[in-house]
Chain A
Amino acid sequence: MNITDRLSHGLDAPICLTWELTYGCNLACVHCLSSSGRRDPRELSTDELFAVVEELAAMQVFYVNIGGGEPTLRPDFWDLLDYCVDHKVGVKFSTNGSRITPEIARRLATSDYVDVQISLDGADAATNDAVRGEGSYDVALTAMQRLADAEFGEFKVSVVVTRDNVDQLDDFLALTKRFGAQLRLTRLRPSGRGAEVWDQLHVTDAQQRSLYRWLLDHPTVLTGDSFFHLSALGEPLPGLNLCGAGRVVCLIDPVGDVYACPFVLHEQFKAGSVRASGGFTAVWRESALFTELREPGSAGACTSCGSFDACRGGCMAAKFFTGIPLDGPDPECVHGHGEAALLAGTGARPPVLAGHSHAGRRAGPVAVAIGRRPA
């Protein structure tokens, strides 16, 4: 059995997991996976966060990807970082950069166990701010400068690839290198508020093909295995090329609910809660949902496709939120099967829920379309 097959049957503990600490955010990005904005009064308390860290340490989870919302808005965020480090649970946290003061940057630079990921969705202010909001580009670059000044080393700059920024990949790379950082690219998912803008912002077929070639030419650019559906184009991309949902990764949301992955914050993919007896460990090892995900799945509609071994049907979340059956093709299938499935309109898309979005502050799809000024 090769490593991908073994991993698809699941591990006793996740390799890493995403942990969203709060639904509170001072931005209102149009593609937010968790529809964040306002804090939720039911969010885990500091003591509950610490108890989760103790579980993760006991399970030997090497590191967590902390996000939100904007995780640094939680007053106990820095205490949680220390608690993780003290328990040898490494942390990579995603931030819009707004709380990275020069002092914080210097403090972050002192620990090997802490990594920082700044979100940026355009190589120039106009492209970025159309998605992340006015002024967010300057905030992100200021944070990057402060990390560089503090000699943090290789922090990450994470970009959600869209139709509007996919032509800027070389610019992103040059920009991140200027700050001694590493570029990370991820796929736009039709999840959360992303469902509202996906039709307009997801990359075109031609763009996918040039993205694939660019990724092959730049193997050191990180992707978190985001684009494994593109491996159906030929040579596999670096990485495991597998959907790790509930098998090697999962997500803990701000109120302690555990989902299969960061892109499926929906009742159907909720495995349990860290607040239930048995905690996170029981959810990971015993939940019905994760057990089912670890069983060999059928190739479904993709059975007769010669590329199935390469793409394995693509991303579960992308299918679910575009109304394609889970055993159907990925909506961005490189052979066009997804597009055909979307046109056939066999399934209804699940309704987009407002979640914790700020009332009236969201940049809607129209704002995106007209908000992009020539650079």
Chain B
Amino acid sequence: MTSYTLHPQVGLRDEKFGALAYHYGNRRLTFLNDDKLVTVVRSLDQHDDVDEALAAAGIPAAQWPAYRVALARLVESEILREHH
């Protein structure tokens, strides 16, 4: 079961194209170019795991693998981190 949360040092700002995420620690800016991905990211804390968040956001199951990859990338760039 994989569970993520927004990194505490990250600010998220909604934009027409999705959102901008800025990490105050490593000072990197990341573009989230997909509204649905932003919805998922914002809702991660309300769900026990990633799949539950994807389901709640209405992402079709066929697209889950792509979303899982996108979320894993956000973990790599420290926008998200594993929830403990």
Quote the shortest CB–CB distance from A84 to chain B (angstroms).
12
| A90 is an interface residue with CB less than 8 A from chain B | yes
| A63 is an interface residue with CB less than 8 A from chain B | yes
B13 touches A60 (CB 8 A): yes
Chain B residues whose C-beta falls within 8 Å of the C-beta of A11 in the assembled complex: 15-16
Chain A residues whose C-beta falls within 8 Å of the C-beta of B22 in the assembled complex: 62-63, 90
B27 touches A63 (CB 8 A): yes
**In the complex the two chains form, what is the Cα distance from A15 to B27 in whole Å?**
12
Report which of A12, A15, A92, A112 forms a contact with B9, defined as CB distance below 8 A. Answer: A112
Known: A6-B17, A13-B13, A62-B13. A112 touches B29 (CB 8 A): no
**Which residues 113-164 in A have Cβ within 8 Å of B in the complex?**
113, 115
**In the complex the two chains form, what is the Cα distance from A95 to B9 in whole Å?**
25
Per-residue A-contact encoding for B13-54, CB less than 8 Å = 1, 0 else? 101110010101101010101000000000000000000000
| B58 is an interface residue with CB less than 8 A from chain A | no
**In the complex the two chains form, what is the Cα distance from A1 to B15 in whole Å?**
14
Chain B residues whose C-beta falls within 8 Å of the C-beta of A88 in the assembled complex: 11, 24
Quote the shortest CB–CB distance from A346 to chain B (angstroms).
38
Chain A residues whose C-beta falls within 8 Å of the C-beta of B11 in the assembled complex: 60, 62, 88
Known: A6-B16, A13-B13. A112 touches B24 (CB 8 A): yes
B29 touches A90 (CB 8 A): no
Closest Cβ neighbor of B29 among chain A residues: A15
| Consensus secondary structure, chain A interface | loop
Chain B residues whose C-beta falls within 8 Å of the C-beta of A13 in the assembled complex: 13
Interface residue tally of chain A, by bracket?
10 to 19
Quote the shortest CB–CB distance from A155 to chain B (angstroms).
11
Chain A residues whose C-beta falls within 8 Å of the C-beta of B25 in the assembled complex: 112
**In the complex the two chains form, what is the Cα distance from A57 to B19 in whole Å?**
17
Closest Cβ neighbor of B17 among chain A residues: A6
**In the complex the two chains form, what is the Cα distance from A92 to B24 in whole Å?**
11
Closest Cβ neighbor of A92 among chain B residues: B27
| A3 is an interface residue with CB less than 8 A from chain B | yes
**Which residues 76-91 in A have Cβ within 8 Å of B in the complex?**
88, 90
Quote the shortest CB–CB distance from A280 to chain B (angstroms).
16
**In the complex the two chains form, what is the Cα distance from A1 to B18 in whole Å?**
13
Interface centre among A15, A62, A63 (most CB of B within 10 A): A62
**Chain A interface residues (CB < 8 Å from chain B):** 1, 3, 6, 11-13, 15, 60, 62-63, 88, 90, 92, 112-113, 115
**Chain B interface residues (CB < 8 Å from chain A):** 9, 11, 13, 15-17, 20, 22, 24-25, 27, 29, 31, 33
- Further contacts, 8 of them, CB under 8 A, given A62-B13, A115-B27: A3-B31, A3-B33, A11-B16, A60-B13, A62-B11, A62-B24, A88-B24, A90-B24
The 7 A-B pairs with the shortest beta carbon distances in the complex, nearest first, are A62-B22, A60-B13, A6-B17, A112-B25, A90-B24, A112-B24, A62-B11
A-B contact pairs, 14 of them (CB 8 A): A6-B16, A11-B15, A13-B13, A15-B29, A60-B11, A60-B13, A62-B20, A62-B29, A63-B27, A90-B24, A90-B27, A112-B9, A112-B24, A112-B25
